[in-house]
A and B are shown apart, each in its own frame.
Chain A
Amino acid sequence: MRTLRLLGIGWLFHFKMIMRSAFDGVGQVIYPLFFATVAFFVFRAGDSPRTLLYASLGAAVMGMWSATSTTAGSAMQRERWQGTLEALVATPANFALILLPVTIAMATIGIYSLVATLLWGRLLFGIDLTVVHPLLFVLSIPATVLTFGALGFLFAVCFVRFRAAWALGNMFEYPVWLICGFLVPLTFFPAWVRPISWILAPTWGMNAIRESSLGGSPLPDLIMCFVLGSAYIALGFLVMERLLRAARERAALSLT
């Protein structure tokens, strides 16, 4: 119960903070709309059988990843700048349980981006959202948010020793957009790219949202989201333990 309370309060607290940040709250919602607009124009002008709704859903999930990648990469760096990292690490609570709701809150901002992109597509390009499996569609969105948050958590942990962690997080924005099938089917890529796509949960989150909307069987995708999300969190906990121990031994937590 204590753990759930910590996760819940942490999520709410950080969600409110992000909402008040111009860069994370406003910028990360508006910025993907530019890419969505380009995608709409490209698909409208092209001769592909893929529909504008296909592009709209992909562009909407692109925004969810944007809200997570850069900010999650620098989640621990931000605590470092604010001088709160040492205090948080010193608390009796497991630090991973403090960091996890931060990245999930960042991914939650992505829901704004998702809604904004779908509305943008509807109002400016006349793209109607048809949902074949409404219940599974509604389930797919929080599942995707949680897996994005879990992947962001793994990023935050892995980048803890980098001062410019935001730049590394930012660097992963385009590659995930590209190889997770948001706007390009995986069959377009060389065979060696596909296994990389499969171990990235956004691929399955995107599939779940798209299949529940356009028709298909999103349940296996949702199961993969759950499996990969759990794996990211477990791996993040393990890496975090090691990194924090090493940082304490070398007194290098603040990277000064």
Chain B
Amino acid sequence: MNSFRLFFVGGLTSYRALFYWLSPTIYIPSLIVAPIFQILLFAYIGRSAGLQSDVFYVTGNAIQYAAIPCLFAMSQTVSGERYQNTLHAILVSPANRFPLFVGRALPVMGNAAFVSAFSFAAGCVILGVSLPAGSIPGLAVVILVAAFSCTGLGLTNAAVSLRVRENAVLSNVIFGFLLIFTGANVPISELPTWMQDVSHVLPLTHAIQAARDLAAGEPFSDVTGLLATELGIGIAYLAGGLALLRVFEWQGRKHATLEQL
């Protein structure tokens, strides 16, 4: 029961306390307006370069932008505690680390899915992209799976925040890598072979492909393989993030560097 309480109540409380972008003055510019302009930017670059259609850029960027709330919110779950001098209190507690950190990831995932879905819808309306009506439930599932897998990467990022001071720079760099490698704006086949190989082990790549397939009218049953792979990648990053948290927590205790700023 304690673990359930820690997972749901603790997760929501810490999210509300630590994700300081929840203020409307930050949330609206950063998570409502910015993704729409990212979609428009790349859709117009695509038109200017004569590459792909608007629907390609809407699906790619709406799903890829889930990375921003996932990476920043998850890193703030660690760095926020550190800045408020509460990290040591959290880490000396006997609380089970799995519900402690995964509980914090749940609201992040919900928010990422909302940001992604909203920018997807706004991008479609502004650019006049029409999707098959039957694809919408499937796209909702894709967005949820993408948000989950990216939250897994976010947890890994949070773990690294135990060792890296400049987590905002790190989050931006990871976002930049995802922008290039996931095929959000460039067809994967146009990337060099080594980049294609990397793209297959990153979150979002398979979700973006699944969303494009659904938008092209393919049935949901045809993208279940892609979604299963995306889910597997998300679980792998989540497990990796939890393992890294353990390692860095142990190292931080050993070297007394947990709160080093």
A:17-74 near B, CB below 8 Å: 22-23, 26-27, 30-31, 33-35, 37-39, 41-48, 50, 55
A237 to B51, CA, bound (A): 45
The interface residues of chain A lying within 8 Å CB-to-CB of B23 are 164
Check A139 for interface membership: any CB of B closer than 8 A: no
- Candidates A23, A37, A188; contact of B169 at CB < 8 Å: A23
B:176-216 near A, CB below 8 Å: 176-177, 179-180, 185-187, 190-191
Classify the secondary structure of A's interface with B: helix
A183 touches B45 (CB 8 A): yes
- Candidates B51, B166, B169, B187; contact of A47 at CB < 8 Å: B51
Check B228 for interface membership: any CB of A closer than 8 A: no
The interface residues of chain A lying within 8 Å CB-to-CB of B49 are 42-43, 45-48, 50, 55
B25 touches A163 (CB 8 A): yes
Which range contains the number of A residues in contact with the other chain?
35 or more
B179 touches A178 (CB 8 A): no
In the assembled complex, the CB of A218 is this many whole angstroms from the nearest CB of chain B, namely 21
A27 touches B172 (CB 8 A): yes
A31 touches B176 (CB 8 A): yes
B172 touches A178 (CB 8 A): no
0/1 per residue, A155-172, Cβ < 8 Å to B?
000000011100110110
0/1 per residue, B165-178, Cβ < 8 Å to A?
11011001101110
B169 touches A167 (CB 8 A): no
Q: Which of B49, B180, B187 has the most CB of A within 10 A?
A: B49
A170 touches B34 (CB 8 A): yes
A176 (CB) vs chain B CBs: closest residue = B37
In the assembled complex, the CB of B6 is this many whole angstroms from the nearest CB of chain A, namely 31
A44 (CB) vs chain B CBs: closest residue = B190
The interface residues of chain B lying within 8 Å CB-to-CB of A35 are 176, 179
A177 (CB) vs chain B CBs: closest residue = B41
A38 to B175, CA, bound (A): 13
B169 touches A184 (CB 8 A): no
The interface residues of chain B lying within 8 Å CB-to-CB of A175 are 37
A171 touches B29 (CB 8 A): yes
Check B88 for interface membership: any CB of A closer than 8 A: no
A42 touches B34 (CB 8 A): no
B25 touches A184 (CB 8 A): no
Check A134 for interface membership: any CB of B closer than 8 A: no
A34 touches B51 (CB 8 A): no
In the assembled complex, the CB of B237 is this many whole angstroms from the nearest CB of chain A, namely 20
B30 touches A34 (CB 8 A): no
A27 to B179, CA, bound (A): 16
In the assembled complex, the CB of B148 is this many whole angstroms from the nearest CB of chain A, namely 24
A:171-208 near B, CB below 8 Å: 171, 173-175, 177-178, 183-185, 188-189
The interface residues of chain B lying within 8 Å CB-to-CB of A173 are 34
Tell whether A185 pairs with B48 under 8 Å between CB atoms, given A38-B186, A170-B34. Answer: yes
B48 touches A188 (CB 8 A): yes
B25 touches A164 (CB 8 A): yes
A171 touches B185 (CB 8 A): no
In the assembled complex, the CB of B260 is this many whole angstroms from the nearest CB of chain A, namely 15
B168 touches A45 (CB 8 A): no
A35 to B178, CA, bound (A): 11
The interface residues of chain A lying within 8 Å CB-to-CB of B169 are 22-23, 26-27
In the assembled complex, the CB of A29 is this many whole angstroms from the nearest CB of chain B, namely 11
A:114-172 near B, CB below 8 Å: 162-164, 167-168, 170-171
On B, residues with C-beta under 8 Å from A are 21, 23, 25-26, 29-30, 33-34, 37-38, 40-42, 44-51, 165-166, 168-169, 172-173, 175-177, 179-180, 185-187, 190-191
On A, residues with C-beta under 8 Å from B are 22-23, 26-27, 30-31, 33-35, 37-39, 41-48, 50, 55, 162-164, 167-168, 170-171, 173-175, 177-178, 183-185, 188-189
Known interface pairs A47-B49, A171-B30; 11 further A-B residue pairs with C-beta atoms within 8 A, sorted by A's residue number: A41-B186, A41-B190, A41-B191, A42-B45, A43-B51, A48-B49, A164-B29, A174-B34, A174-B37, A174-B40, A184-B47
21 A-B residue pairs with Cβ-Cβ distance under 8 Å, sorted by A, are: A26-B169, A27-B169, A30-B173, A34-B177, A34-B180, A35-B176, A38-B180, A42-B185, A44-B190, A45-B49, A45-B190, A46-B50, A46-B51, A48-B50, A162-B25, A170-B34, A171-B29, A177-B41, A178-B40, A178-B41, A184-B44
